[in-house]
């Protein structure tokens, strides 16, 4: 009797424990700022390339640039700026620190500080020498030749040379890396080979035109790893990264923290940095704190110097109180928006889609959901992105009456319950969303649609389930955003070739749009690319394929003692110039 | 005694077998296909699905799958995490010590505090001291862990600045607040138990006899009363140790400590089946081991009890 009781007790305890664990699972599940989505690449807001708003894109083959004089040892670094440890609280743990295998936002932030790339992109989007002193490309944009710096050493002492470049590029296509940002760049553009002419000259070849390669080559995904470490660590390289960057990897305590320290030999910082030589900070600790409230508390107690992704309200309060400084960065690329499924009723009807856009008040939504930090957005490309088309953004302006009229004319008659009906069918919008995504925001959005006579059927599920439903086309609208300094994600999101197995969630098939987007991503003339992207934006808005919402503002709170907080061109904090007041 | 031991250990093995079946069935109880969940950030294509199913051995009959899984698990290979492609065994080994450390320190706190509180209350039975001590323990039991933790953070980290609000590692300062959060409710349990048990024993005739023999009061309490009062407490402590391991989930999440509880949360929220299986199996095994150990200790403490 007693024995069976025990058995029962143990099994019950086990089941209860798993249920408890399951119950506890939900709240920590997702990132604070980048909520639900599906498209893996898009959700994770992958890195970009290309220039930002201010400068003209230099996507075309760039003539060899004059090499800047190699900086001598830290002449400007004043001794009193040196020292200190900055601890930054981040929401999500990286999965890998192997640039070739990385995808996630939180990975890029750390990689940016550990690694250098062949080129470097200034925050204004201009290209500068990185590990390469000069570069050139052939007219077809398939071959890129780089003259490498002779004086660079990896953190493990391995000298940087052409072989290291080849090893890093070839490593991306290692079959062990199943899916990564770098891999999709190289596979999509048919990477052929890296030819090492000698220690300081390499040519990287592709089988298809890759006009934006120089910009991608300046980003974290294609940064250069130590060939010695790649061989030595093998499968474990993602946990033992070795680069040439201003900080070197110290340790990674699972779930807890990643520690990096100053690389004292660093003498090859980019020319747009405010100083030369080694970084000022002794150490940077990336503390993994999934709860926004925990990060905020730790910032107030001084355990953190920087807290990533605070809630808008906390950010404003703390900034006002003077206890912390709010750093904001409006993400370029595809803003937060709803992809409207043109292959499923009722959003297969363009009038319905237009009415949806007209019934949402973006100004009010951004203000209400994100206080003063929301940036209302009216197009498929955010306003700070190169190639932003003002005309496309002016296609629709919130107008409930106009939305009602469109629906009336289309045969959707208002029912007694406030929901429109046509041919006995209700105007129901199937919306799959994550339970961790701000409820208030979802309620607000459905509220607008309801006013126009829509019935929003919100189905909350986890990201994986969203992925499955999205792939199957079981939705009318789907939330998405994609950080990138140029409009190139438009091809991933709207080229009908990407409906199957890809991210073209509007499922819109139009040969003209496909052709324009294909042309935009392969044209070697910037003027042509710009015109293509302008045209594509207008086509997308005219067909009401998306319901634009707001531009994601990346938020960081830092203590007043943190000086020289800098963002790179995609909004990742760059610690090279940062100092800590003593 | 020996027969009992053997019997008890055999039962435990049987229970562990049941547990392993239950844990194994997790992957088959999941709605949809584990393979689609695993694909996650990759493209879900028929080709990819077929590959993953092949890799996972999902095409084999279920008993065969169980056998393969068990074979590997017994060799210490619990598969590879979907989240980061690292061996699950490694993730567990990385985080388990931190959880055990926390559970132990919380248990020690619970025992010391609980014993003192319980004894004081029992010895001052019916006085205001008793009422106060029990009042404290009722509050300790009623306050939810997450709220207690927040209050402690507010007081000790934000206002006083004495202890860190986020804690890593095993140094005393980092352990203090999580230990307090996890240990206080347990201390309240122990206190109530010690008090009740002591009161029960103190009213026994042999205590009166001991007193009549002229044994000093201190000796009566320590030698005669406490030893007998310990028996129910020991059982309880055994079970509590196991529940502390589970309870660490909330505390670890709150203080952002690394540990197996937080690993479980991460694994579940990422639908990382191999990791969920591994974590649940390890926690369940610990439960069973502690239970067996408790039963054995029990019989040693009181030879009258032979189950």
- pLDDT 10s digits, A13-22: 433 333 333 3
| Residue ranges of A 271-330 with Cβ closer than 8 A to chain B | 287-291, 294, 297-298, 300-304
Whether residue B42 is found in the same domain as residue B143: no
Confidence band (pLDDT; 50, 70, 90) for B49?
low
Out of A349-353, A434-438, A462-466, pick the least confident.
A434-438
Q: What is the mean pLDDT of residues A219-247?
A: 94
Residue B166 to residue A289, Cβ atoms within 8 A:
yes
Q: Is B19 touching A (CB cutoff 8 A)?
A: yes
| Token pair recorded at residue B204 | 């026994």
Contact B40 A40 (CB under 8 A): yes
Please tell me the pTM assigned to this model: 0.76
DSSP letter assigned to residue A384: T
Interface of B with A in 82-111 (CB under 8 A): 83-86, 91, 94-95
Nearest Cα neighbor of B181 from B140, B211, B133 is B140
Q: Is residue B68, in this structure, part of any structural domain at all?
A: yes
Region B287-299: mean pLDDT is 81
Domain end point (choices B74, B103, B129): B74
Q: Percent of chain A, pLDDT > 90? A: 56
> CA-to-CA distance for A240 and A229, rounded, in angstroms?
8
Given B25, B45, B74, the domain boundary residue is: B74
pLDDT reported for residue A140:
87
Which B-chain residues 211-230 have CB contacts (< 8 A) with chain A?
none
Same domain, B61 and B146: no
pLDDT for B8? 84
B53 and B145 within one domain: no
Least CB-CB distance to B307: which of A2, A26, A239? A2
**pLDDT number for residue A29:** 27
Please tell me whether residues B113 and B248 are part of one structural domain: yes
Query: Are residues B223 and B106 located together in one domain of the fold?
Result: yes
pLDDT band at A169 (very low <50, low <70, confident <90, very high): very high
Within a domain: residue B276?
no
Question: Does B194 lie in the same domain as B104?
Answer: yes
pLDDT at A506: 95
Q: How far apart are the first and last CA of chain B?
A: 10
* pLDDT of the residue at A17: 39
In a domain, B282, yes or no: no
* Yes or no, beta carbons of A14 and B284 under 8 Å apart: yes
Q: How far is B29 from chain A (nearest CA, A)?
A: 13
Shared domain check, B47 and B151: no
Q: How many domains does chain B have?
A: 2
Residue at B306 is within a domain: no
- In this complex, is the C-beta atom of A234 within 8 Å of any C-beta atom belonging to chain B? no
Residue bearing the bigger pLDDT, B265 or A408: A408
CA distance A487 to A59: 13
pLDDT of residue A209: 87
Mean pLDDT to the nearest integer, B259-273:
82
Per-residue pLDDT reduced to its tens digit, A307-330: 998 888 888 889 999 999 999 998
Per-residue model confidence (pLDDT) at position A400: 94
- Which range among A144-148, B91-95, B245-249 shows the weakest confidence by mean pLDDT? B245-249
- Whether B155 is in a domain gets the answer yes
Whether residues B174 and B49 share a domain: the answer is no
pLDDT above 50 (res A25)? no
Instruction: Give the three-class secondary structure for A234.
Output: helix
Give B-chain residues touching A7 at CB under 8 angstroms: 11, 14-15, 18
CATH number at residue B220: 1.10.3720.10
Helix residue ranges, H only, A474-573: 489-494, 511-522, 526-542
Distance, in Å, from the CA atom of A555 to the CA atom of B269, rounded to the nearest integer, reads 24
Domain shared by B167 and B258, yes or no: yes
In a domain, B159, yes or no: yes
> For the segment A448-464, what is each residue's pLDDT rounded down to a tens digit?
999 999 999 988 877 66
Residue B148 and residue B63 in one domain: no
Q: How sure is the predictor about B146, in pLDDT bands with cuts at 50, 70 and 90?
A: confident
pLDDT, residue A513, reads 96
In a domain, B303, yes or no: no
B75 lies within 8 A of chain A by CB? no
Task: Please compute the mean of the pLDDT values over residues A333-356 and round it to a whole number.
Answer: 94
> What are the pLDDT digits (tens) for A486-515?
898 898 899 998 888 778 999 999 999 999
Q: What is the pLDDT of residue B294?
A: 80
In order of A464, B222, B232, the CA distances from B214 in angstroms are 73, 15, 28
Model confidence over B24-48: pLDDT tens digits? 887 666 655 556 555 554 445 566 6
Residues B22 and B166 in one domain: no
Whether this model's ipTM surpasses 0.90 comes out as: no
- Indicate if the pLDDT at residue A36 is higher than 60: no
Q: How far apart are CA A246 and CA A280, in angstroms?
A: 9
- The answer to whether residue B180 sits within a structural domain is yes
Tell me the average pLDDT of chain A. Answer: 83
In a shared domain, residues B111 and B213: yes
User: For A58-97, what is each residue's pLDDT tens digit?
Assistant: 333 333 333 343 444 444 445 578 889 999 999 888 889 9
Q: Does the pLDDT at position A199 exceed 50?
A: yes
- DSSP lists the bridge partners of residue B96 as none
Range of the domain at B66: 2-74
Residues in A touching B161 (Cβ below 8 Å): 301-302
């Amino acid at each position: 009797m007693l024995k069976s009781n025990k058995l029962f007790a143990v099994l019950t305890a086990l089941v209860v424990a798993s249920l408890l664990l399951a119950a506890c699972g939900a709240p920590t599940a997702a990132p604070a700022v980048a909520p639900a989505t599906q498209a893996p690449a898009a959700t994770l807001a992958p890195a970009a390339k290309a220039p930002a708003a201010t400068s003209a894109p230099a996507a075309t083959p760039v003539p060899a640039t004059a090499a800047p004089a190699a900086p001598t040892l830290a002449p400007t670094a004043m001794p009193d700026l040196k020292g200190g440890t900055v601890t930054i609280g981040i929401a999500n743990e990286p999965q890998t620190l192997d640039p070739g295998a990385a995808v996630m936002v939180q990975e890029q932030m750390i990689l940016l500080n550990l690694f250098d790339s062949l080129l470097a992109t200034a925050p204004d989007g201009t290209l500068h020498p990185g590990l390469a002193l000069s570069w050139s490309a052939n007219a077809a944009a398939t071959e890129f030749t780089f003259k490498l710096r002779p004086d660079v050493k990896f953190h493990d002492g391995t000298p940087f040379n052409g072989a290291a470049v080849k090893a890093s590029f070839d490593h991306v296509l290692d079959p062990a890396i199943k899916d990564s940002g770098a891999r999709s760049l190289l596979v999509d553009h048919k990477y052929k080979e890296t030819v090492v002419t000698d220690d300081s000259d390499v040519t990287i070849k592709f089988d298809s035109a890759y006009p934006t390669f120089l910009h991608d080559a300046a980003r974290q995904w294609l940064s250069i790893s130590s060939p010695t470490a790649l061989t030595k660590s093998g499968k474990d390289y993602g946990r033992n990264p070795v680069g040439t960057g201003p900080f070197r990897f110290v340790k990674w305590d699972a779930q807890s923290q990643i520690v990096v320290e100053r690389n004292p030999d660093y003498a090859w910082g980019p020319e747009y940095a405010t100083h030369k030589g080694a970084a000022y900070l002794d150490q940077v600790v990336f503390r993994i704190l999934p709860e926004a409230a925990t990060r905020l508390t730790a910032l107030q107690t001084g355990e953190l110097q920087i807290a990533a992704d605070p809630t808008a309200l906390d950010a404003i309060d703390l900034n006002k109180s003077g206890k912390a400084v709010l750093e904001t960065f409006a993400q370029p690329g595809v803003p937060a928006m709803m992809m409207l499924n043109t292959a499923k009723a009722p959003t297969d009807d363009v009038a319905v889609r237009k009415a949806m856009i007209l019934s949402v008040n973006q100004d009010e939504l951004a203000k209400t959901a994100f206080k003063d930090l929301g940036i209302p957005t009216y197009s498929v490309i955010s306003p700070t992105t190169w190639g932003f088309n003002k005309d496309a953004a002016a296609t629709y302006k919130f107008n409930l009456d106009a939305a009602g009229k469109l629906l009336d004319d289309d045969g959707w008659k208002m029912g007694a319950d406030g929901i429109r009906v046509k041919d006995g069918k209700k105007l129901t919008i199937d919306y799959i969303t994550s339970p961790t995504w701000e409820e208030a925001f979802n309620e607000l959005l459905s509220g607008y649609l309801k006013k126009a006579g829509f019935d929003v059927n919100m189905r909350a599920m986890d990201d994986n389930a969203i992925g499955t439903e999205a792939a199957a086309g079981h939705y009318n609208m789907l939330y998405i955003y994609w950080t990138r300094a140029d409009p190139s994600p438009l091809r991933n999101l709207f080229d009908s070739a990407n409906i199957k197995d890809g991210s073209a969630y509007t499922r819109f098939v139009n040969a003209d749009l496909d052709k324009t987007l294909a042309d935009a991503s392969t044209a070697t003339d910037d003027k042509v690319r710009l015109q293509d992207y302008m045209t594509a934006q207008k086509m997308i808005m005219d067909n009401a394929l998306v319901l634009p919402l707001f531009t994601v503002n990346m938020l960081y709170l830092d203590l007043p003692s943190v000086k020289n907080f800098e963002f790179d061109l995609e909004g990742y904090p760059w610690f090279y110039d940062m100092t800590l007041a003593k | 005694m020996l027969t009992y031991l053997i019997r008890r250990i055999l039962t435990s093995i049987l229970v562990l077998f049941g547990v392993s079946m239950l844990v194994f069935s997790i992957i088959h109880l999941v709605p949809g296909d584990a393979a689609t969940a695993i694909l996650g950030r990759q493209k879900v294509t028929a080709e990819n699905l077929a590959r993953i199913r092949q890799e996972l051995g999902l095409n084999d009959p279920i008993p065969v799958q169980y056998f393969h899984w068990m074979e590997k698990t017994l060799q210490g290979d619990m598969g590879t995490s979907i989240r980061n492609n690292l061996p699950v065994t490694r993730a567990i080994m990385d985080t388990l010590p931190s959880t055990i450390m926390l559970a132990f320190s919380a248990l020690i706190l619970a025992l010391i505090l609980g014993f003192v509180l319980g004894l004081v209350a029992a010895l001052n039975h019916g006085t205001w001291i008793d009422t106060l001590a029990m009042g404290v323990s009722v509050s300790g039991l009623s306050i939810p862990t997450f709220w207690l933790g927040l209050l402690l953070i507010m007081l000790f980290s934000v206002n006083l600045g004495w202890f860190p609000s986020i804690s890593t590692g095993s140094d005393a300062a980092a352990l203090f607040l999580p230990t307090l959060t996890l240990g206080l409710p347990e201390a309240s349990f122990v206190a109530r138990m010690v008090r009740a048990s002591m009161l029960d024993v103190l009213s026994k005739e042999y205590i009166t006899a001991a007193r009549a023999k002229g044994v000093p009061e201190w000796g009566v309490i320590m030698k005669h009363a406490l030893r007998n009062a310990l028996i129910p407490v020991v059982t309880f402590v055994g079970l509590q140790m196991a529940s502390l391991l589970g309870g660490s989930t909330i505390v670890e999440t709150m203080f952002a400590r690394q540990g197996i509880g937080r690993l479980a949360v991460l694994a579940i929220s990422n639908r990382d089946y191999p990791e969920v299986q591994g974590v649940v199996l390890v926690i369940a095994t610990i439960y069973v081991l502690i239970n067996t150990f408790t039963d054995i200790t029990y019989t040693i403490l009181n030879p009258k009890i032979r189950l």
